Amino acid sequence: MKLTENEVRYVAALARLELSPEEQRMFGGQLSQVLDYINTLNELDTSDVEPMSHALNITNVFRDDVEMEKFPRKAWQANAPSQDSGHFRVPKIIEG
Amino acid sequence: MNDICSWTIHELVAAMEKGQVTSKEAVEAYLGRIAKVGPKLNAYITVDEEGARKAAVEADKRRAAGEATPLLGAPLAIKDLLATEGLRTTCGSKILDNFVPPYDSFAVARLKQAGAVILGKTNMDEFAMGSSNETSHYGPARNPWNTSKIPGGSSGGSAVAVAADLCAGALGSDTGGSIRQPASLCGIVGLKPTYGRVSRFGLVAFASSLDQIGPMTKDIRDAAILTSVISGHDPMDSTCSSEPLGDYLSGLEDGVEGMVVGVPDEYFIEGMDPEVEQKVREAINILEQKGATVRRISLPHTKYAVPTYYVIAPAEASSNLARYDGVKYGYRDMEAEGLSSMYCSTRNKGFGSEVKRRIMLGTYALSAGYYDAYYLKALKARTLIKRDFQEAFKDVSVIVAPTAPAAAFGLGERVDDPLKMYLSDIFTISANLAGIPGVSVPCGFTTGGEPVGLQILGSYFQEASTLRVARAVEREIGITTVKPRVDN
């Protein structure tokens, strides 16, 4: 199975990755090879098999809706690349 | 006092209890050794000299005041994907190069409560994606037994730090073998506990249904001690189990008399290093001599573990890593104009090749039209792999196998061949998919002088029996007294 250049570009866009032409070529080839290997799963008859999304039988975990310890906003925001008066600054979203 | 760095955690704590050595002296010895041999091995991304010295003085004071917590004053190292309050946590990535967590992960908080001193943060494959430590943004850690070889991954820095006596013990994380494989390649002990045994709160997420934190240590007793400290229920991780803690220490020396040990045919395959197979077979013979019943078993879906993993892990990663967008923390490409372009350019410049490759793979597997063919199919294959183990554990107490198909390979040997790199984890991945515990214990050396690891897998929450079997191997063929020569 060979991933086309268009498919590589499409998946990169979905993943918000801006790949260079060189990376597109490299990933196209490498991912095709890995997908071929993954396709060995088609040898398995899984028609009567339940999917397993989790190792343990854990159901939803709830807690009481009460206020918990607050983390200091300043300490958390200190890691932001750009901030202003308690807000995260981002590049302009709407033109005009 | 020269060999203080080579002591196990329990030896060091016992010596401190007797007043033979202080935590401050131990920390100074480690910092001196890290400065001397550290650059050659690149085991640490960040060394916290100031924090470690302060914590050591504090620990000595607490001991003088009569306290005796299990790790009081013991200098440990932490894989750089566990959040440490006020101490940079990079996950081996440029995108988190300047990230300083304002809180401690559950496992680190538990270590500190038990009195541990944190020496620093260890090198790792970027976002724990790799089997050789070569995807680290900070350059690879090197195998102390042979510095032209890889230490394994992704917890390579922790394995090197323990093997080269740059800490008394360490924490790693294991998503597809990332504790056990580097432990095997560096000649130390590494345990991946049952999924849900240790809280993942504060662990930078890679594949959330597979990730598990565990100890990397100089001997089995230390692994049991650290597991006791970091395990237990945490309301901050909804997948953390409330199963009562096992007693990992009291039965450690009980031996294997009367135990049934399963040896799966599928873990001795064509292409594996014959010397590795020989060492593993010798270890199995020793278990038999010590009174265990050894039985051939079959885990028929083993060959589907790697392809299953390379759908599920990248799919979860592609979702988990969506948060790195240059807004709330981490790197941002300040040159980019417009929000969308900022996201794309930040991610492209912030992530390395392997991380991008896996995000691409996972995004593809989850994309419209491919979800059923890849993701759902892999989840069903995962059920079959889990059933193999459930069947096997009806008849055997533990399963023993090689940890890795070969000893350490050369730096650069597999970087251009992702599929070949992925196959390095062929014997460790199944345990993550099923969620069962597994430990790697050294069982000898190849003729080239590289360590070989024996893997012991147990059923859910049976960490105690895997450690007990591992201890029996360690007692007979332990290499704890043999050390890599890295001082010259």
Q: Which residue has the higher pLDDT, B271 or B266?
A: B266
Mean pLDDT, range B115-129, rounded to an integer: 98
Q: Is B28 exposed, middle or buried (0-12, 13-18, 19+ CB in 10 A)?
A: middle
Give CA torsion, residues B23, B30, B139, B407, to 10 deg.
-100
Contact B108, B84 (CB under 8 A): yes
Give the bridge partners for B192, in sequence order. B438
Q: Please state which architecture CATH assigns to domain A5-42.
A: Orthogonal Bundle (1.10)
CATH fit for domain B2-251, picks 3.40.50.10480, 1.10.287.130, 3.40.50.300, 3.90.1300.10: 3.90.1300.10
Q: Is B339 exposed, middle or buried (0-12, 13-18, 19+ CB in 10 A)?
A: middle
Mean pLDDT, range B416-426, rounded to an integer: 86
For residue A76, what pLDDT is reported?
87
pLDDT in tens, B447-469: 999 999 999 999 999 999 999 99
Confidence of residue B2 (pLDDT cuts 50, 70, 90): low
- What CA–CA distance (Å, rounded) separates A94 from A15? 22
- What CA–CA distance (Å, rounded) separates B61 from B23? 10
Mean pLDDT, range B469-480, rounded to an integer: 90
Interface ipTM: 0.94
Confidence of residue B488 (pLDDT cuts 50, 70, 90): low
Any catalytic annotation for residue B250? no
pLDDT in tens, B220-258: 999 999 999 999 999 999 999 989 998 999 999 999 999
pLDDT in tens, B342-366: 999 999 999 999 999 999 999 999 9
Q: How far is B363 from chain A (nearest CA, A)?
A: 6
Catalytic residue among B23, B24, B79, B184: B79
Mean pLDDT, range A35-45, rounded to an integer: 96
* Dihedrals phi, psi of B367, to nearest 5 degrees: -75, 160
Confidence of residue A61 (pLDDT cuts 50, 70, 90): confident
- What CA–CA distance (Å, rounded) separates B99 from B362? 25
For residue B36, what pLDDT is reported?
95
Q: How far is B31 from chain A (nearest CA, A)?
A: 28
Helix (H, G, I), strand (E, B) or coil at B226: helix
**Start-end ranges of CATH 3.90.1300.10 in chain B?**
2-251
* Dihedrals phi, psi of A88, to nearest 5 degrees: -85, 130
> Which 25-84 residues of chain A touch chain B by CB within 8 A?
26-27, 30-31, 33-35, 37-44, 46, 49-56, 58, 60-61, 63, 71-72, 75-76, 78-82
- What CA–CA distance (Å, rounded) separates B164 from B243? 35
- What CA–CA distance (Å, rounded) separates B371 from B365? 6
